[in-house]
Structure formats: structure tokens, C-alpha cells
Amino acid sequence: MKFLKAIILFCSLSFFAFEAIHDYYISTTQIDYIEETQSLQITSRLFLSDIESLLRQRYDTNITFGEELKPKNVDTYIESYLREKISIKINGEKVDFDFIGEEYDYDIMKCYLEIQGVNSINSFEITNKVLFDLIQEQQNIIKTKINSKQKSFILTVKDTIAVLNFD
């Protein structure tokens, strides 16, 4: 009897623990300046369930991610959404990024972006409002490695811009 109670308690705690895992709404975006190729390489990591909810709300209520399942038009939807929510300025000038694609790693979607033709960076500014329209508690962590300097920022609904100066 004690063994059965222990198993029930363990299963109950496990259930609540897994439910609580996603009480934190975060994304991470890594930005690396590669001087040799004169490019910025950007990787954004988003919870798959969050981006799925967002895409259903905005574009297609039938979108479902699953094993070996890539919804139709998802590249177009993701690119369109990221272009709307991410803005980058280098040396005071707004620049466009190329959407390279996305891949899935269990419950995470990795989105790859690139900016080519970046000769030097004296100042860098990023606005990242990804998922803020879906989740008010969302936090977007920005990690940069530019000009051999590493810096991190946490962006929220009330603070959506990170700025770096290298003067």
C-alpha cells in the first residue's frame, strides 16, 4: 500500500512539475558578428508550443507541429512574423536580414537569420518583440558576440530595444 501511495505521489508531482516547466515564457537569440565573412549570424530559439499557438492565431488555425510533420507555408509565416517583430540597426542604419530557415529540436524551434555585407559595427541596435503579442510575460534574451565583446540583454513587453555602442 505504501508503495502504491509513493507511486501516485511521484506521478502527481511529476505531472505538476512538467506543467510548471512552461510557466516561464522565454526565447533566446544569439547574434554573432563574423568578421571574416562580414556577416551577422542570428539564431533564435522559441518554444515550439508558443510559436504554434501564435501561427494558429495569426495565419492558420489548422497548423500543428509533430514528429516529421512540417506544416505547409510555415516558412512563409515564420519569415513574415519575424520581419514584423525583429528590427536591426547597424551604425544607425536599418538593415534587412535573410531568413535562412528553421529546424526543430524536440520542443524548440531554431530560426536562422543572416545579415551580409557588414564591414564594421560601431553601434548595434535590436528591437525584438517576438511573442509579445501572444504572451505578456514573454522575455526575449538577446546574447551578442560583436567585435570580440559579449553582451546579454533581457527584453520585455515594456523594454523591447537593446543598444550597443563600440566607440
Give the E-state strand segments of 1-97 in sequence order: 26-34, 39-47, 86-90, 93-95
Q: Between vectors from CA 138 to CA 135 and to CA 140, what angle results, nearest 5°?
A: 140
Q: Write down the domain spans for the chain.
A: 23-165
User: For 9-35, how does the pLDDT look when each residue is reduced to its tens digit (9 = 90+)?
Assistant: 444 444 343 333 457 799 999 999 999
pTM of the predicted model as reported, rounded to 2 decimal places: 0.82
User: For 114-164, how does the pLDDT look when each residue is reduced to its tens digit (9 = 90+)?
Assistant: 999 999 999 999 999 999 998 999 999 999 999 999 999 999 999 999 999
